Structure 1
Amino acid sequence: MWRYIGRKLFIYLLTFIVAVTINWMIPRFMPGDPVRNMLSRAAINDPEAMASMTAYYEDLFGLDEPLYQQYLNFWVSLFQGDLGISVMRYPEPVTDVIMGSVPYTLGLLLPAILLSWIVGNRFGAFAARSKALDNTVLPVGYVLTATPYMWIALLLSYTLGIVAGIFPTAGGFSYSLRPEFSWVFIYDLISHWFLPFLSMFLVALGGWAIGMRNMIIYELEADYSNYLQALGAPRRLIRRYAFRNAMLPQITGLAVQLGTIIAGSLLTEVVFNYPGLGTLILDSLENRDFFLLQGILLFVVIGVLIANFIIDIIYVLVDPRTRVQMTGGSS
């Protein structure tokens, strides 16, 4: 078991190094100069003053050094827990800017991922044994899973927000309120959260329902199910075994889905102007804020790798065949 965990940690470490390196490279190969973009907002008309300020801030942010030196400095600062200073919100540290948006993104991701996975698997399992429900779940599931996050977010915003006027369509909470622990603010926070959450939940729900429905049907037609049926085992027992075996690919699919749903979260936040990491990425791109952009991508990479590692360990604990193979036994 520990050897398996060590091997997985080594693989994830290599993945982390490669992913972080790519994340560091992408902003620096983008067109535009973050310092000049920042100084352009100050409307400095004197060329000498502009040149002097540009040299000062390039030295401050370390942008006047060769790329290889910037890369080495990045890793040194990263191990010290320093992600640099945001160009867009100078002189605020990147870590403080990101921490202000992380609760909003996690508040969308965690409920959408877990609830869509649980509800989708249950609906898929019911659909596999009910023809009437299958005729409903299957087409609806195909429509939902093929729907882009951004499109369904726009649809929900228009129908439930603009036309019906039930939910607000932008922001994390009303600008007239001040963040505080009160029922008024909590209700307002949830009302702004609901539409972004619903758009992510619905798209993910269809995929899980279809996947579980297909896996249940496959398991019910497997040899062990026919053997148990020939022995006179109760149909409920056979379905229970089929459900447990069908859950294994769904657990693996959960790890793969994490990257997709995070991308969907970024698009959804942009549509609803939700103050999470997605909106922050758009702002950092518009302002060519290298340090903020690479800090956000670093957070996303770490989150996905940690979640995938946890799912790998859960898979070993859930599937006894994997534990037997790890201990050297026969499958």
Structure 2
Amino acid sequence: MKWSTADIPDQRGRVALITGGTAGIGLETARSLAVRGARTVLACRDVERGRAVATGLGPDADVVKLDLASLQSVRRTAAEVRRGYGRIDVLVNNAGVMFPPHHRTEDGFEAHFGVNHLGHFALTLLLLDLMRCTPGSRIVTVTSLAHRVAPSGFDPRTARSQGGRRSVAAYGRSKLANLMFARELQRRLADEGAETVSVAAHPGLSATGLWHGDAPAALRPVSRTALRVLARPPARAAEPVLRAATDHRVPGGAYLGPGRLLETRGAPAPARSTRSSRNTRAQLRLWELSEELSGVRHQRSSGEDRPEPIPKVSRPPG
């Protein structure tokens, strides 16, 4: 079934938290949700920039500071969100780095893996009980076509590697981790009988700020050509993410991307993924490694002691 942003239902009364919501696909996601009435919460490193963007989105847009390269910051952000909001209906794990200026995160992890995967892993688990008590809540993790070029296997050595700053393999590995995380999370939510669902999406190719990093020299001519020929503007590239976030016909565990021309064009549709991304044993190993490295563990819900959802939509103090 074809889908466009015109199919996004009324979002009034819903709260959407978007990481990296101040530019590119994150901004377009926030903008579309805000237009339909959602309270949008922009989780970003640059609070001043976030406030400027939020002003343009309207009175129902908020900003929280989040640095995914710091697990301490992730914990602070999660605590602030939990204090300030009675519900989270949509969590969009969108922010990411590609060929970043620094080798490692604050906690000593390879930058792609630490920011793109571990930071979002920790944030999601720290907010999960709030989402489990919000009927119809959805967690959308943004991955990439680049997961197809990733070497399989994750271990503490690769997680702390110093050689990934300009590595296509390291970026691809982090996006493979995003997809595997989304699928393992869905399995766990389903086992609990939770209403919350986990969905993954990729944007195809989009000329966002990610491409402004320090790419390897051999990749630059290829990336320029690919962007010129195949890239879509961020507003179109955000469509798979928006469908994953708002179309309740999309089941938990689904993976969406553009439906035509090698998944670079067309309306959002089920996307193809690698065999390694579907390996349930590898998904479990990645999950256990992520718990160990982040210090954040999955707390299962019995379904019996879940608090009643709080319908009020409020702003965080201050």
Which of the pair has more CA radius of gyration?
1
The TM-score normalised by the length of structure 2 is 0.25
Higher strand share: 2
The TM-score normalised by the length of structure 1 is 0.25
- Which structure ranks higher in relative contact order (CA pairs < 8 Å, sequence separation ≥ 6)? 1
